[in-house]
A and B are shown apart, each in its own frame.
Chain A
């Protein structure tokens, strides 16, 4: 039995979600290979080869993989599928985009965003915004799976797998890349950060994020997140959204500021180890899941917090 993990790469770097997906693959059992697809991406392939417990790295190098377009990426994965009983990819936006396409081409029902492996064919996944946990057994011969990376520990880096080149199927040319507008930030990436501080509608502007949230984030080495309301209002970019339909985070410490605690938001952060809520409404639902609640006006509390952190 062999399992294929499809890596997430950014430029020439391998994303940490790949290490976590490898752990999910090991829980299924059998040999674990990694597919790295990119244009060039030699360094990413070399980095993948270091992930502990990996048998080999398949490296596909072609122009059509540079921007992770779904159609050629899915065709590549399908071309390799016959050697594997299970194909896994982290439930990043790339994973969510590509893997269902792979599943349909293989006539398989994808198992989305698993948080646990119970048996090689049985998995746990959240449904209804995480208000219920579903244990499902797949009756498909081949499993196509996306993995909630925060639910698995990262595999180590003492491996030395061989890297082999694989052929790229012809590109059908259905789509083309136009451009990308990536959020630039020196702060840690949201889904991998140890500490996250998120702001909600109450922040009221980008300037207030800048004045009240960012300095604390920088002192704590934290990533910045947000509720949908703050993103919709344009205070911060879309990729800050934490929740059912945004990013799922599980840091050591999550600080929710001016966020009411709608179920859709909780779905993205309730597995954090320690939750702090700062809200001026003592009835706000966020307090029902917070380990430490501070009923206060954020515009008063945050400068104090900034000061207390030295």
Chain B
């Protein structure tokens, strides 16, 4: 089977973002950017399916600036076969991302697309589900286990009460949860090899998709600050304070 894996360039998960003083957004100047952690899990899963002989080809796709090639190269170094960058400097909302990915899917005709469950910048948790809707495909979201099962896919999903297992018809969309796998580090030889793998760069304009935002950001502000409280010396003091000062026991 053929697998498409969309990977998003996002602020590195270790960076504590700062809100700009003019409240128009967060400060992205000179901060470390990385592949969205859930997308690394998606690439890893695709590569494992290829190693198991279930998949033949993996295509990594990113929608973003020129620099998003770095994240595609990382996917290639992890084991993807080729990459597609849909270039734009605009912020593209999940609905528009899903429409662009649908256009790619219509052309590439994959059997499976694996996305992250959530991008850690917009925290939207939407794109995979939207893409499934636009394609009219089944969706297996928040996956912690994926197994090929004849013409279907058996997906174990992390849900609020525990785990749910469903069977979805192919072609399908899967979105990854944290415990699906542990992504590998790309080895140096594989990083070198990745530089020679094909990476197609297309302009977002080629797709005829309206990417103008539906949500207008009026402002971005700091969350309410929590002041550090006091250190207590003992368990007895803690219990006393919780009873008499905080009134929560």
Q: Please report A residues at the B interface, Cβ cutoff 8 Å.
A: 10, 67, 69-71, 74, 92-94, 96-105, 107-113, 122, 125-140, 172-183, 191, 195, 220, 228, 231-232, 237-239, 244-245, 247, 252-253, 263-264, 270, 273-276, 282, 287-296, 301, 304-305, 308-309
Contacts and interface: CB of A to CB of B under 8 A. Distances in A.
Given A97-B142, A175-B166, A253-B248, 13 more contacts: A71-B138, A94-B160, A98-B129, A100-B126, A100-B129, A104-B134, A109-B213, A109-B215, A137-B215, A139-B214, A182-B163, A275-B226, A304-B235
Interface in B134-159: 134, 136-142, 144, 154, 157-159
Contacts of A270: 223, 226
Contact of A100 (B94, B157, B162): B94
Give the most central of A101, A107, A182, A252: most B CB within 10 Å. Answer: A101
Contacts of B169: 173-175
Nearest to B168: A175
A70 B246 contact: no
Contacts of A136: 215-218
Contact of B120 (A99, A129, A237): A129
Interface string B97-135: 010000000000000000001101111111111111110
A132 B17 contact: yes
B206 interface: no
Contact of B124 (A107, A110, A288): A110
Interface stretch (B54-62, B197-205, B236-244): B236-244
B52 interface: no
B122 A127 contact: yes
B221 interface: yes
A101 B248 contact: no
Given A104-B134, A238-B179, A292 B118 contact: no
A50 to B, nearest CB: 23
B15 to A, nearest CB: 9
A264 B13 contact: yes
B27 to A, nearest CB: 10
Contacts of B159: 93-94, 239
A265 to B, nearest CB: 12
B218 A70 contact: no
A274 B226 CA distance: 10
B130 A111 contact: no
A129 B178 CA distance: 15
B158 A276 contact: no
Given A109-B93, A138-B214, A178 B167 contact: yes
A127 B121 contact: yes
Contacts of A291: 229-230, 246
Contact of A10 (B130, B161, B172): B161
A93 B142 contact: yes
Contacts of B132: 70, 101
